[in-house]
Structure 1
Amino acid sequence: MNLFLDALAWLFDPAQWSGSGSIPQRIGEHVWISLVVLLIASAIALPVGAIIGHSGRGREVAIRVSGGLRALPTLGVLTLFGLWIGIGLSAPILALVILAIPPLLAGAYAGFESVDRHTIDAARAVGMRESQIVGKVELPLGMPILVGGIRSATLQIIATATLAAFIADAGLGRFIFEGLKIRDYGEMLGGSILVIILALVVDGCFAVTQRLVVPAGVRAARSPELRSAPARPRAVVGHAINEGNQ
């Protein structure tokens, strides 16, 4: 309880909210690092996942590569890149990109694979080109799952970006490492609380986004009114029956 009170005292200390190394500055650095990593990883993983999901080829390879990347210890990869590249943000960004690729890749190909093959065949039957099928059929219908993959990757990035402070003076992880160094456990817990709050806020934004990207036609089809068939009489062999009540 005393430790929690120390963390609150540190969080609400006015000195922590202004000047160099303040909480707003560290939050900005953390968000910037996470955004850069997400953009780089998305540029690599999303097109590959879309191609795999659309064509159905290379899925086994993608699963194996994703599983292998997930198994890599992030701190070990970060240390390796740090020894190779040196002190700075380049090493943590590369390590975090490797961490973010698997959920992005899985979300992309799972989103495209989730589209009913009959729907795609119907699109081809009406003369749509492959690029039109991808952009106007598969992408809108698979968008909720794709956004779910981006959501998962973003949360992993935000949580693990604290390790950037291991070899670079940036991000909310700086409070954790600095508190550990000087044995200020209130600062350590305060930094951890800030990371948790940031992750929850971002997760809430993605939860709303996932609902908004569901196509209107899909939302309408899920409504109870359209699920139940209208009851109307129909004559069959001289007898009237009520559709929807069979």
Structure 2
Amino acid sequence: MTLLLEALAYLLSPDSWSGRLALGTLLTQHVGYSLMAVGLASLIGVPAGWWVGHSGRGTTWVQGLSGAVRALPTLGLVTLLGLLLGIGLAAPMIALVVLALPSVLAGATSGVRSADTGAVDGARSCGMTELQVLTRVEVPLGAPLLVGGLRSASLQVVATATLAAYTGAGGLGRLMFLGLRTQRYDMMLASALLVIAVALASETFFSLLQRVLAPASVRRNRKEQP
């Protein structure tokens, strides 16, 4: 309890929000790294997942690759890339993108596959091209599952972005490593509390977005339930 109070005092201290290790700066860096990693993973995973889900090709390859990527130890990957690329943001950013990619890919693929078969067949019978079927029917209907994949990826990345400090980059991980080295456990816990707050904010945002994008029939069923 004492350590928690000390961490809260550190968070509320004006000195903690100024200087070289200002909490505001590190928090902004942490959020920026997380958004960048999920954004880059989305640029790769969303189109690939849509194509796999729509065409049905490459499913085995994608599942195998996702399983292999999930098994990679993130810290080991950051260490290896750090040795190859040197200090800075490049190594942890690549590792974070690799970490986020399986969830994004799975969400995009599952979303397209979950589209109602009757709606898809009806779109084809109306003369829509395969691209139109994908973009106008399957993608909108599968949007909640895609957001679910982004939600999972964001949560993993936010929690792991502290490793950016391992190779000399910024973010809230700097306080964790510095606190561990100097035995400032209040600093470490304060940094961890901010990471938890960012994770909760991300979870809340994507949860609300999933509700908004859910099909009207699903929203009606939720309202009718006691």
Q: Quote the residue 2:102 is aligned against.
A: 102
* 1:83 aligned residue: 83
CA RMSD across the alignment: 1.5
Aligned match of 2:133: 133
Q: Which runs of 4+ in 1 moved over 4 A?
A: 220-225
Is residue 2:184 matched to residue 1:184?
Answer: yes
Map of 1:149 onto structure 2: 149
Q: Count how many residue pairs are aligned between Structure 1 and Structure 2.
A: 225
Distance 2:12 2:100 in 1: 33
Question: How high is the sequence identity, in percent, across the aligned residues?
Answer: 49
* More relative contact order, 1 or 2 (CA 8 Å, 6+ apart): 2
Instruction: Return the TM-score normalized by structure 2.
Output: 0.95
Q: Could you tell me how far apart the structure 2 residues matched to 1:217 and 1:127 are?
A: 26
Partner of 1:51: 51
What per-residue deviation string (whole Å, max 9, x for no partner) do you get for residues 4-28 of structure 1?
A: 1211121111101123321110011
The one-letter code matched in structure 2 to 1:71 is A
Instruction: Give, in angstroms, the shift of residue 218 of structure 1.
Output: 5.0
Q: Which runs of 5 or more structure 2 residues have no equivalent in the other structure?
A: none
User: What amino acid is the match of 2:175?
Assistant: F
Determine helix, strand or coil for the equivalent of 1:131. Answer: helix
Other-structure match for 1:36: 36
Letter in 2 for 1:210: Q
User: Where does residue 244 of structure 1 map in the other structure?
Assistant: none
Structure 1 pair 6/220, CA: closer, same or farther in 2 (3 Å)?
closer
Deviations 1:45-98 (A, max 9, x none): 111100011111111111110000000000000000000000000010011111
- CA gap 1:50/1:18 in 2 versus in 1, 3 angstroms: same
Q: Counterpart of 2:120?
A: 120
Q: Could you list the per-position Cα deviations for residues 188-224 of structure 1 after superposition, in whole angstroms to 9, with x for gaps in the alignment?
A: 1111001001110111011111111123355347664
CA distance in 1 between partners of 2:219 and 2:194 (Å) = 36
Q: Distance in 1 between matches of 2:212 and 2:75?
A: 36
Compare CA radii of gyration and give the structure with the larger one: 1
Q: In terms of mean alpha carbon deviation, does 173-182 or 212-221 score higher?
A: 212-221
1:172 counterpart letter in structure 2: L
> Quick one: structure 1 residues 204 and 222, their matched pair in 2 at CA, closer, same or farther if it must change by over 3 Å?
closer
**1:108-165 deviation per Cα after TM superposition (whole angstroms, max 9, x unaligned):** 1011111122221111001111111111100110000000000100111100000101
- Could you tell me whether the CA contact under 8 Å between 1:140 and 1:214 is conserved in 2? no
TM-score for the superposition, normalised by structure 1: 0.88
CA distance in 2, matches of 1:196, 1:219: 29
